Amino acid sequence: SRFYSKLDTSEQLGDPLDGFVSQLSVPCHVERMGNRSGLVRARLRGAGVAKGKTLTFLDAHCEATTGWLEPLLHQIALDSHRVVSPSIDVIQESTFEFVPGAPNTWGYFDWRLSFHWGQATERERARTHGDPNIPLRTPTMAGGLFSISKAYFEELGTYDEGMVVWGGENVEMSLRVWQCGGELLILPCSRVGHVFRKVSPYSWPGGVSHVLSRNSMRTALVWMDDHKVFYLKSSPDAMRTDYGDISERQALRKRLKCKSFRWYLENVDVESVFPIDFHGIGEFRHESSGLCLDTLGQKQRSPVGLSTCHGQGGNQLFVWTTKGEIQAEVGCVNPTDDSETSILFKPCLRLDTGSQLFDYQDKRRSNRTITAFADFFKIEIMDDVLENSYIPSSDDLLD
């Protein structure tokens, strides 16, 4: 076992840590970085000096339970292209109370490439039959705790060394694993507790937003193909971020003959918040009033709103799908059953007919949804959508 330090200057991580490690019952070694290098480079140092056939990465603020490791190693022994994570329980920051995580929990990411925990879909729960011995096939991993074959880690391109500090590297690796022929699993019978901190105990060079923008830009431009526009439009400030040279990572993707992001949506994250096909993405703007459709930060089954257009994406970012839906990240616009003038966000049905569709080409709405939408908001959506949407093309300046 090896512990690596990202150059934390706390006294406890000097001689006291060395003394504690020397008394452990298994051979352990502390590997220290010469300067502050961030998670990616620290983990690469640890991987470089490790002698075993399997690498296991754990954040420092974790506590493992009895029998946590064997299930992870077993899955890798069955298939070396599996990247496996334990189920993560919560250790309360102030009391260190151990709180079991919810069953059937897996990871996904949104249009801003931010990681989230959520309930596995009905499709995935049906596949596992609720059996804790059957791993969940998660679209995205949290990234702090996982095991991987050392040979496969190196074959897959280890980490993107152009990323800094931490944040976003888990999404990048998740896409890389799936698109390049691997598999991400969460094992319900492997349990590790993790302290989820409310405040970061260290500084972020350039600020948190700069770090996350750089890392996420690298992910979007290398792995998301035309769908990168979802990140660029939802995080417009990222366009001004120096994301470094990505040519090596692009060459890696080509060398490994990795699949497209579309394949990922069609085969892995099937219920994703990303539509597979779309005409355009941007603001739905009423030119004369300067008002835009806005989610107002609400969740599903909340009313659609209007507010002054700000051009920053976020709550005003909508996509017109090729099926005819008007979708925000929170869901698709949809009338309620009892009133044609009440429009809510509801889960996108992804159907070829129904209450969420409209027809732009015929200059008319195919059902009451958009008629009510226009009447209620006094807004000519169908005439504005093409003018204010971004449609990705081959001459995109970032291609």
DSSP assignments along 77-129, one per residue: HH-TTEEEEEEEEEE-TTT--EEPPPTTEEEEE-TT--EEEEEPPHHHHHHHT
Q: Which pLDDT does position 351 carry in this prediction?
A: 74
| Backbone phi and psi for residue 281, each to the nearest 5 degrees, phi listed first | -140, 135
pLDDT band of residue 398 (cuts 50, 70, 90) is very low
The fold of 278-390 is Trefoil (Acidic Fibroblast Growth Factor, subunit A) (2.80.10)
Which residues are paired to 292 by β-bridges?
285, 307
pLDDT over 70, % of the chain: 80
> How is residue 388 written in tokens?
């204010």
| pLDDT tens digits along 342-387 | 677 888 887 776 667 765 554 444 444 444 444 444 333 333 433 4
CA distance 399 to 287: 31
Q: Which pLDDT does position 136 carry in this prediction?
A: 96
pLDDT at 388 over 70: no
Count CB neighbours of 377 within 10 A. 19
pTM of the model as a whole: 0.84
Count CB neighbours of 92 within 10 A. 12
CA distance 75 to 56: 13
Q: Do residues 136 and 104 lie in contact, with contact meaning Cβ atoms separated by under 8 Å?
A: yes
Q: Do residues 188 and 136 lie in contact, with contact meaning Cβ atoms separated by under 8 Å?
A: yes
Q: Which pLDDT does position 128 carry in this prediction?
A: 92
| pLDDT tens digits along 41-55 | 888 888 888 889 999
Cα 335 to chain centroid distance, Å, stands at 30
Mean pLDDT of 201-218: 76
| pLDDT tens digits along 111-126 | 999 999 999 999 999 9
Domain ranges (residues) in the chain? 1-36, 46-274, 278-390
The DSSP 8-state label assigned to residue 11 in this structure reads G
The winner for highest mean pLDDT among 54-63, 190-199, 253-262, 289-298 is 253-262
Beta pairing, strands 29-32 & 2-5:
parallel
The fold of 46-274 is Spore Coat Polysaccharide Biosynthesis Protein SpsA; Chain A (3.90.550)
CA distance 60 to 74: 24
Q: What angle, rounded to 10 degrees, do the helices at 208-223 and 247-255 form?
A: 40
pLDDT over 90, % of the chain: 42
Which one has a higher pLDDT value, 312 or 12? 312
